[in-house]
Every structure is written in structure tokens, then in C-alpha cells.
Amino acid sequence: MTDADQRLMTRKADLGDTLKAPIPDHGPLAEGEVLLALDRFSLTTNNITYAAYGDAIGYWKVFPTGRDDYGLMPVWGFADVAASRAEGIEVGARVFGYFPMTDTLLVQAEKVSRGGFADASPWRKAVPDIYNRYVLCAADRHYDPALENSEAIFRPLFVTSYTAVDFLRNAGFFGAKRIVVSSASSKTAYGAAWCLEQDDIEVVALTGERNRAFVESLGCYDAVHGYDAVESLPADVPTLYLDLAGDPGLRRRVHARFGDLLTYDCLVGSTQGDAFPQPDPELVGPRPVFFFAATCLDQHRERGTLHAFYERFLADQKTFFSRVIDPASPWIRIVEHQGLDAAADVVRALADGASDPAEGAVVRIAR
């Protein structure tokens, strides 16, 4: 079934429930507008985090639906310029960026350069600038068409892993000697563990029993424990909590276990939560602090260090990609799904925690 002129919306009250519906007619392109035809995008638990934090951080505002009950869950992927009335952006150009799950996206191009452009649509101001920029692949010397699936999956995740570890490292890991990582099977979590391999700090994984064998097979954690073992974790050194699960009950248990030895709670994601954390009066120890990779990138831009950061990041990302898809012992297998109807099934599995951590899901728009 074709996805022509269709979009896949997410019900805010149940993040696994989706609705395929027509895209409203935008009429002829105005001066400066560009029509992007989405080709492929990734779906991971990161997208569930976008939806879970949709109201708190503004992700639901980025691609308005005109409805209160349904939003457009953001995804990262590749598109082609289908039509353009913006100088410097040619029809047929390949771009990478932030999209809704939709056949096409109309953007108002600004800050056009050889390397890309930004969407100046007023609703895009709800989030930091990094979410609104589109990279022109022809000008990206790191772009490789053969790695599009890997890039769609890992580029938005690894930049979070990488900047989070940078932040923690620059803070001396808040005095911790051990990092406990929840939702350790998630791609952002094991990306962070990979980044920490050369640091003198112990990295301990927390995961569900269903995913334990996968997490152990990665070899990037010093120890792997199930969620049922939180109360028996060693509590003998200062410890930092790197939280990808976003589960308030699990957070309470971790805090209670480490007590005064817990030096910092870095909240990165919400693979097991369905809303932004609220203040918890029963929580022992430091309050969770949300880590926002986009803020770190904006700070680099303000300091004039963004180019140097990206040079370092992209070199390390290439090494990470090579490890993840190493034919001899790949950490994941990439599976392509065809069309928005298939995307709906992937979203349901991700929201229900039923997806396979060893699979990287990429959706191709059906035309």
C-alpha cells in the first residue's frame, strides 16, 4: 500500500497507538519553501522518549497536527528535495535531518549554506536549533550512501551517548568510581559504555531478563545485572546513575540502594517511562538532572568550538559504526521495514518494550 500524501500520527495517551491519515494540502510552494520527500528513517526507543517528553520539552510542537489527541513522533532520516523555491537548494538533493513519519514535509528554508539549511517555520522554535537543521549530503565528507541505515539509526543516538560522556568526564564523573546504566540494551546506553572504555571507571549494566544475554554479548560493560538485583548491587564506592529507562520506581530503588554514595543522577532517556519525571518527595539522594545533548551542541556553537567538536565526534562515530556493524561480530542486524503500516507495528513494539535489542529498525516510505 502506498504512503503517498500520508502521515503516521501517535496518540498521546498511548504512545504505541498510531493513526495513518492524509497530509493536509499545503498548496503551491511560496518563495523560500522546500518540499522534502522522506525516503528512510530509523525507529528506536529514542523516538519513544521524544513522545514521552513531547509536552515537557516541546517535541509535539515541532510538527503540528492540528489535533490535541494525536502528535507526530519525530524521527531521524534521509529525504530528497522534491520541489524547491529556495535559492541554493536544488531538486534531487539528498538531506539528513529531523522529520515526522510522513510522505513529505514542507519547510521554510533559511541559513542556506553549502553544507545545509534550517527550517524557519515558527513552530520549529520550540526546540533547539540542532533539531531544525538539514544536512546536504553532497557537502558532507563523512557521508557514505552505503551507511545510510547505520547513520539513520545511530547518528542521533551516538551524539547523545558521546555528549553525555563528555559532560560527565568534564565534571570528573562527579567523584564517582562506578557508573550504573539502566536500560543497558538500548543503543544510546551501549554507545555511552563504548565511549567509556578508556576511562578509569567501572560501568555496570542494568537490564531486563529478556535482554540480559544480548547485553552480556556486547562486552562493553564490566558487569551485567537484572533489574531484580538492584538491592544486591555492590554499594562500596561513589556511584553515578546514568538513567536511560526513566522508570520512577527503578529510580527510587537505585537511589535507596546507594544512598549517600550516589553522587549524581543523569537522566538521559525514557525507554520505560511514558512522561517527563515529576518531583518525587520519596526519592533519597540527588534529584535527577535531565541531560539534553542539543543544549551541549548549542553551547559549543556559542563558544565557537562546534566545528572542532564535530571533527572529533565524526571520527569517533565512524569507529563506533565499524564496531557495531562488524561483519565478524555485529552488535545489531539492520532490518528494513516497508511503509508506514509497518512503521506502526515497530512503534507498538517499541512502546510495549517488546522490540528485539539486537535489531536496528529502518523504515522505507512506500511509493
Q: pLDDT at position 276, please?
A: 61
Given the C-alpha cell 554499594, which residue does it identify? Answer: 235
Give the model confidence (pLDDT) of 308-317 as tens digits.
998 899 889 9
Q: pLDDT at position 298, please?
A: 82
Give the model confidence (pLDDT) of 41-55 as tens digits.
999 988 998 998 888
Q: What are phi and psi of 198, to 5 degrees?
A: -95, 0
The architecture (CATH level 2) of 6-148+332-364 comes to: Alpha-Beta Complex (3.90)
**What is the phi-psi region of residue 10: left when phi exceeds 0, alpha when psi lies from -120 to 50, beta otherwise?**
beta
Contact 46, 183 (CB under 8 A): no
The architecture (CATH level 2) of 156-293 comes to: 3-Layer(aba) Sandwich (3.40)
Contact 176, 264 (CB under 8 A): yes
Q: pLDDT at position 273, please?
A: 57
Output the pTM of the full model. 0.87
Q: pLDDT at position 12, please?
A: 95
- In one-letter notation, the amino acid at residue 308 is A
Q: pLDDT at position 178, please?
A: 98
Given the C-alpha cell 535531565, which residue does it identify? Answer: 290
Q: pLDDT at position 198, please?
A: 93
- Each residue's pLDDT, cut to its tens digit, for the chain (367 residues) gives 799 999 999 999 999 999 999 999 999 999 999 999 999 999 998 899 899 888 888 899 999 999 999 999 999 999 999 999 999 999 999 999 999 999 999 999 999 999 999 999 999 998 888 899 999 999 998 888 998 999 999 998 999 999 999 999 999 999 999 999 999 999 999 999 999 999 999 999 999 999 999 999 999 999 999 999 999 999 999 999 999 998 999 999 999 999 999 999 999 976 665 556 667 878 989 999 989 888 888 888 889 998 899 889 988 998 998 899 888 999 999 999 999 999 999 999 999 988 999 999 999 999 9
- The string of DSSP letters for 327-355 reads TTS-S-EEEEEEHHHHHHHHHHHHHTT-S
Q: N- to C-terminal Cα distance for the chain?
A: 8
Q: pLDDT at position 296, please?
A: 86
- Hey, which bits of the chain come out as E strands? 6-11, 18-22, 33-43, 70-71, 75-84, 94-99, 104-113, 116-119, 133-136, 178-181, 202-207, 223-226, 239-243, 262-267, 289-290, 333-338, 359-364
Q: pLDDT at position 277, please?
A: 64
> How is the chain split into domains, by residue range?
6-148+332-364, 156-293
